[in-house]
Chains A and B, each alone.
Chain A
Amino acid sequence: MASRAAIAMLSRAQRIKSNLQSALEASLLEIEDVSHQHASHAAVRASGSDGETHFNVKIVSTKFEGKSLVNRHRMVYDALADELQSGLHALSIVAKTPQEIAKK
């Protein structure tokens, strides 16, 4: 288990990954930093951060079973509360259960 200090050294993408992994026991997890697509975003420019503001997240977990889309997204947001407080601006979330993935 990485220590706190070590975790802080990781990029946001890596932190997101590790948070979601532990909180939601994801069987599949894909994180993509797409901040550059929103580089002209007023808030992004204002915050002065260079990237790590917008992410695409694809996550598959049994914990999503029986839950509406809203609630699934809420679970993801809750797991990433710290990130959202510290400059994470937006997430595009695809949240599926293993059955839904298998069906496709």
Chain B
Amino acid sequence: MAAQTISSLSSPLQTFSSLRPGVSPSYRFTNFLFYSSLRPSLPFSSVILKPLRAARFRPLAVSAALKNLSESDLVAVPTDPQEVTVNFPSESGVYAVYDNNNDLQFIGISRNIAASVSGHRNSLPELCHYVKVGVVEEPDRSALTQAWKSWMEEHLRTTGNVPPGNQSGNSTWVPARQPATPRKKPDLRLTPGRHVQLTVPLEDLIHRLVKENRVVAFIKGSRSAPLCGFSQRVVGILESQEVDYESVDVLDEEYNYGLRETLKRYSNWPTFPQVFVDGELVGGCDILTSMHEKGELADLLKK
């Protein structure tokens, strides 16, 4: 067996990443002789492992079988989302997330580890401080699952516990389905700010906005923090439709000064929120809710 054990750099407090962009550590994972159909979030059941077979040698990187969990380095998750892809590979494999106390919170598998880490960091910043990475070569489903099982088993052996995030019924760590993007889009602003004088009437800006974007919601507050129950409901409905929409905060006096009055005249509609689809006012919260319940909204958005 050509496996070389990289001298372990990791004490639990190791924070420096040994990964560099473009070079993925080549952890060759060989086949175990058992079948698995479990998803990582299900409770782990005990399985018998067979010994590892010989690993093939790869010229560019050190060849090794998938490192044990305890031998893998802890990599600090950067607070700047741009840096995640610097420290983590966008490869397939298994990963283990640790919080600030170096307690293992969750073991997951991913087709894009950097994206998963980024996603977890965004949604659960208090639990994602370090991650151990095990890239899996030839990552078919069974190889990935086996890698996950080996780490899970090892953790169970050493601590006797299933990580909290992997326990049955725990839905905190929904697998990141999308590549690393901020959870919610920023709201659109109509103007660069009050200090800049408009060369074009606000009505024209509104008109252009609703014509150029398929779905536009004029709401009170931002989409991540609506300031009114009706606006909140509209945001909720649009999010549940998973449609791409633009949101505009009509209460923003800096970037959307004068919007409320102008929009009321433009749409001939006196209240907010207002939702436009394909350049036409669809209505406010009541109408949207009614359409959503009847399924009409989904039809409208599908076209």
List chain A positions with a Cβ less than 8 A from chain B: 37-38, 41-42, 69-70, 73-74, 77, 81, 84, 89-94
Contact = CB atoms under 8 A, between A and B. Distances in A.
B210 to A, nearest CB: 14
6 contacts: A69-B291, A73-B287, A77-B271, A84-B270, A90-B230, A94-B286
A41 B226 CA distance: 11
B283 A38 contact: no
B287 A41 contact: no
Contacts of B229: 37-38
Specify the main secondary structure of chain A where it touches its partner.
helix
Interface residues of B, number: 18
A58 to B, nearest CB: 11
Contacts of B54: none
B228 A73 contact: no
B270 A77 contact: yes
Interface of B: 227-230, 251, 268-271, 281-287, 290-291
A74 B286 contact: no
B300 to A, nearest CB: 12
Given A69-B283, A70-B281, A73-B283, A42 B227 contact: yes
B119 to A, nearest CB: 33
Nearest to B280: A70
Nearest to B291: A69
Contacts of B286: 69, 73, 92-94
Given A84-B270, A91-B271, A70 B230 contact: no
Given A69-B287, A70-B281, A77 B228 contact: no
A90 B271 contact: yes
A81 B287 CA distance: 20
Closest 9 CB pairs of A and B: A84-B270, A69-B287, A70-B283, A77-B270, A90-B271, A92-B286, A93-B286, A69-B283, A70-B281
Contact of A73 (B227, B230, B284): B284
Contacts of B282: 70
A21 to B, nearest CB: 20
B253 to A, nearest CB: 12
Contacts of A89: 271
Contact of B228 (A41, A69, A74, A81): A41
A4 B291 CA distance: 39
A97 B290 CA distance: 15
